[in-house]
Structure 1
Amino acid sequence: MRQLSQGKSLTEQLTDIVAEHGATSGAAELYSGSCDPVSYVIPTAGDDRKAVGFSETRTTPGASYIYGAATIGHRFGEPFVHSHSMWANAEGETLGGHLWSDTIVGAEGVHAVVHIFDGVDLISADDTETDMPVFTPHASERRVFDVTVETQLRNTVVARVLPGEDITEAIIKTSKASGFDSVSVRAGIGSLVGGEFVNRATRETFRVDGPGTEVIALIGHVSDLSAAEPEVRLSCTMVDRHGVVHAGELIAGANPVAVTFELVLQEMNQESK
């Protein structure tokens, strides 16, 4: 856990942490603190070229940061961060969106758990299908950790989920292909075509309007992948094109990816399930 410093760009501090370890890529889970200001956009309908678009830039001064996630890599040879977050304004209204690099950490800092990727370069480029910038993982010979010394390493898979793929099915397929029986979903962000949830308290289902929503955080686990019906528990928080934040348990088979999804899966052992 690292505490990001007041008065500095949130995203630039994340790239600095990755660089400290001699790596090029990583992912971060972000929790609590403050930002002043938050600079951000929310999703909008696309056009003839783009699947979805962005609103005009919005600003929230004196924001209480709640949580979010970030993918850290490079674009055109320079450090680049894709981050979605959730916060509250001075009136207590919950807001969310896609952060710009001029979001500045406030007096309370922001807490970050940064996952450093070994042997992976994440490169952002414009996708020909959606005409949007997306991260794609590339295998690298660069080694960051000495596995004979590091004792906290876990088998981790970094994957890009393509437009139109259901996010739950993609997690199951990727986990099985990696030989995992149980996985934890960590720091995954991207966009979905709307969203369909179950309210855990009432068990009622509800749908979020598309054509695109920005996923602030996707967390949970999938276990017993060798069974005919694996156990799936995935909680998702997202912001829609109206700027409204929603949360619930994803319904399998009902949540296709809009532009991309940057997926980070960690293998779970039996004791950690």
Structure 2
Amino acid sequence: MRSIAHPGKSGTQRLFAIPSGVRPITTELIAGQTLLDAIAQMGEDFDVKSGAFRLNGGVLTSFSYVMPALSKSPEHAVYFSETFYVEGQVKLESASVTFGLRDGQPWLHCHAVWIEPNGRRHGGHLLPDRVVVATPIQLTGVALENAAFTVCPDPETNFSLFTPLATAEHSTSPNPGAYAIRLAPNVDLCDALEAFCQAQNIKRATIFGGVGSTVGAQFQDGRIVEPFVTELLIQSGRIVQTDTGQTRAEIDISIVDYKGGLTEGRLASGANSILVTAELVICPERD
């Protein structure tokens, strides 16, 4: 499995998980606002401070995004590209969103796939305070009730990253509704979630959200993304139990690499180490 050397020292904890109750949310984002303001408005309307969501359909304008990129400085192992702008209306196909807090204010992390006016299908990291919602966009997902993804300094990567933290309403219930999770670099995405679910006796679960990056990618069908700097969004994710009682993560992604390639498919287990981070919510299915 490929790995990445970050400038800071890696800690012993590689998976950060906070138990939390959850509420399902289904609504439409209001047109005429930036993506950040539209989702923050949803937060006010539904009393949501943090959650993991999926966006589908609709149109965006003032379209601004960045791509994963090689780092030009020893302060970071990898970085972001310059900002790209797309003129005209961009059709949103799908996006994964981590919504939470930065310096006590609403903030979000969004990776998306879209179709540009010239027909090009592309993906990347949206700049949420610049992109404008032009037509209503469907939002579905879960709101966290006892935890919040909160931007915190990460000494290993030298980035400030969303990390799940307990809120004042935190409950230590032995059967929480869900877990807010962040994965650290150089752990396999599937293996880490499978081990976590085994430890928590979770036999079946749905993954909500899913914003992150891996060191390239290897898919179940054998395809490989060689460029090692990537960003991904989880299109569909589940934890299942096989006939032999093993826990398996079934994760379908869209991934964009720093050379501009967009690749999609189901990840192979044991072959996809985290590049910088991965944020998601696991919701167990109770018997």
TM-score category of the 2 structures, normalised to the smaller one? 0.7 to 0.9
Aligned CA distance change for structure 1 residues 218 and 126 (closer, same or farther; 3 Å): farther
Name 2:215's counterpart in structure 1: 193
Gaps of 5+ in 1: 145-153
Counterpart check, 1:121 vs 2:148: yes
Q: Contact 2:102–2:150 at 8 Å: present in 1 too?
A: yes
Aligned CA distance change for structure 1 residues 27 and 5 (closer, same or farther; 3 Å): same
Counterpart check, 1:51 vs 2:68: no
Aligned CA distance change for structure 1 residues 263 and 177 (closer, same or farther; 3 Å): farther
**Secondary structure of the residue that 1:72 maps to in structure 2?**
strand
Taking only the aligned residue pairs, the percentage that are identical comes to 26
- 2:237 aligned partner, one-letter code: G
**Secondary structure of the residue that 2:227 maps to in structure 1?**
coil
Q: How far 1:189 moved relative to its partner?
A: 0.9
Q: How far 1:143 moved relative to its partner?
A: 6.9
* Cα distance in structure 1, aligned partners of 2:261 and 2:149: 30
**Secondary structure of the residue that 1:210 maps to in structure 2?**
strand
Counterpart check, 1:260 vs 2:277: yes
Q: Contact 1:35–1:109 at 8 Å: present in 2 too?
A: no
* Cα distance in structure 2, aligned partners of 1:191 and 1:218: 14
1:181-228 superposed Cα distances (whole Å, 9 cap, x missing partner): 111111111111111113xxxx4x111133321112242212127955
Q: Contact 1:181–1:226 at 8 Å: present in 2 too?
A: no
Q: Identify the range of structure 1 (165-174 vs 222-231) with the bigger mean alpha-carbon deviation.
A: 222-231
Q: Where do 1:157-168 residues align within 5 Å?
A: 157-168=179-190
Q: How far 1:111 moved relative to its partner?
A: 0.9
Aligned CA distance change for structure 1 residues 159 and 226 (closer, same or farther; 3 Å): farther
- 1:90 aligned partner, one-letter code: P
Name 1:209's counterpart in structure 2: 226
* Cα distance in structure 2, aligned partners of 1:50 and 1:211: 14
Which structure has more relative contact order (CA 8 Å, sep 6+)? It is: 2
Name 1:112's counterpart in structure 2: 139
Name 1:96's counterpart in structure 2: 123
**Secondary structure of the residue that 2:201 maps to in structure 1?**
coil
Aligned CA distance change for structure 1 residues 25 and 11 (closer, same or farther; 3 Å): same
- 2:147 aligned partner, one-letter code: V
Q: Contact 1:52–1:211 at 8 Å: present in 2 too?
A: no
Counterpart among 35, 38, 47 of residue 13 in structure 1:
38
Q: How far 1:244 moved relative to its partner?
A: 2.1
Q: Give the RMSD, CA atoms, in angstroms.
A: 2.3
Name 1:65's counterpart in structure 2: 92
Q: Contact 2:36–2:108 at 8 Å: present in 1 too?
A: yes
**TM norm structure 1:** 0.87
Counterpart check, 1:171 vs 2:199: no
* Cα distance in structure 2, aligned partners of 1:179 and 1:39: 42
Aligned CA distance change for structure 1 residues 227 and 160 (closer, same or farther; 3 Å): farther
Q: Contact 1:216–1:239 at 8 Å: present in 2 too?
A: no
* Cα distance in structure 2, aligned partners of 1:17 and 1:4: 7
Q: Contact 2:185–2:273 at 8 Å: present in 1 too?
A: yes
Q: How far 1:134 moved relative to its partner?
A: 0.8
Aligned CA distance change for structure 1 residues 48 and 25 (closer, same or farther; 3 Å): same
Q: How far 1:174 moved relative to its partner?
A: 2.0
Gaps of 5+ in 2: 1-25
Q: How far 1:23 moved relative to its partner?
A: 3.5
**TM norm structure 2:** 0.83
Q: Contact 2:216–2:228 at 8 Å: present in 1 too?
A: yes
